[in-house]
Amino acid sequence: MKIKLTIAYDGTNYNGSQIQPSLPTIQSQLMEAFQRINIQTSFDFSGRTDKGVHAFRQIVSCNIPEYWNDLKRLTNVLNKQLPHTIQIRNIQKVDKNFHARFSATKREYRYLITEKKLSVFNSNYMSHYNNIDEEKIKEAISYFIGIHDFEFFSKKGSDPVSTVREIYNIRFYKYKDIYVLNFQANSYLRSQIRMIVDFIMKISSGKLTIKQLQEQLNKKKLISWTLAPANGLYLSKILYKETL
């Protein structure tokens, strides 16, 4: 029986979502929880998250024995086996052809920013920037929307077949004292969002300009390649055909 898990996690103490030898990851914790209740299976994640990145709704698909047909009970049993930093929000039975990654049509990420000084209680969950210029940020994000070759806005090492991606939308808004950058696309390059956020915030502070953004986006000149901190980034939603 094939199932779809919706999970949330605090990525602070994990070395990303995907399995890595001798390092704690979201996948390794999930695998251990399943093995403790005698389920041997393999997992497909909707997307990879880096070290320190969080998730509201990561999607994972896998196969389980037919006798685990009480999925509410399975959810409760697994959550008791998982650390408090990982929680299964829901488990659903899906068609055998469903794949958490390849069946996805849209992926949404949020990046959280504040001007307020961070405390020991929130420093792992948002990034701090001074003197945020809302108008400059709104102008900057408009240039990233659409189809572009994002080679100069991605971290090297993953060797994708193509560095062309389409960003459907970027929303920027404020909720109380937190600024939110919400990205929606089909897929992303390695560290693409964090590099875009870093560039946008440099424009906000006056360190970089819109002209320099255009030069880098058009691959005329690599101007900035640093990343915004991982702790401000959240995988927030995965959309599939049946949810559109």
pLDDT of residue 87: 98
pLDDT tens per residue across all 244 residues of the chain: 999 999 999 999 999 999 888 899 999 999 999 999 999 999 999 999 999 999 999 999 999 999 999 999 999 999 999 999 999 999 999 999 999 999 999 999 999 999 999 999 999 999 999 989 999 999 999 999 999 999 999 988 666 789 999 999 999 999 999 999 999 999 999 999 999 999 999 999 999 999 999 999 999 999 999 999 999 999 999 999 864 3
Catalytic residue of the set 10, 44, 50, 133: 50
50 carries an active-site annotation = yes
CA distance 139 to 147: 17
- The residue with tokens 């994002």 is 150
* Segment 161-188, tens digit of pLDDT: 899 999 999 999 999 999 999 999 999 9
For residue 240, the model assigns a pLDDT of 95
Q: CB atoms < 10 A from the CB of 200, how many? A: 26
pLDDT digits (tens, 9 = 90+) for 104-132: 999 999 999 999 999 999 999 999 999 89
- Is the Cα dihedral 99, 102, 103, 108 positive or negative? positive
The pLDDT of residue 20 is 86
Give the pLDDT score at 42: 95
Sequential DSSP letters for 40-52: ----EESS---TT
The model's pTM is 0.93
How many helices (H) and strands (E) are present in the chain, helices listed first? 5, 10
Full set of structural domains in the chain with CATH: 2-93 (3.30.70.580), 108-233 (3.30.70.660)
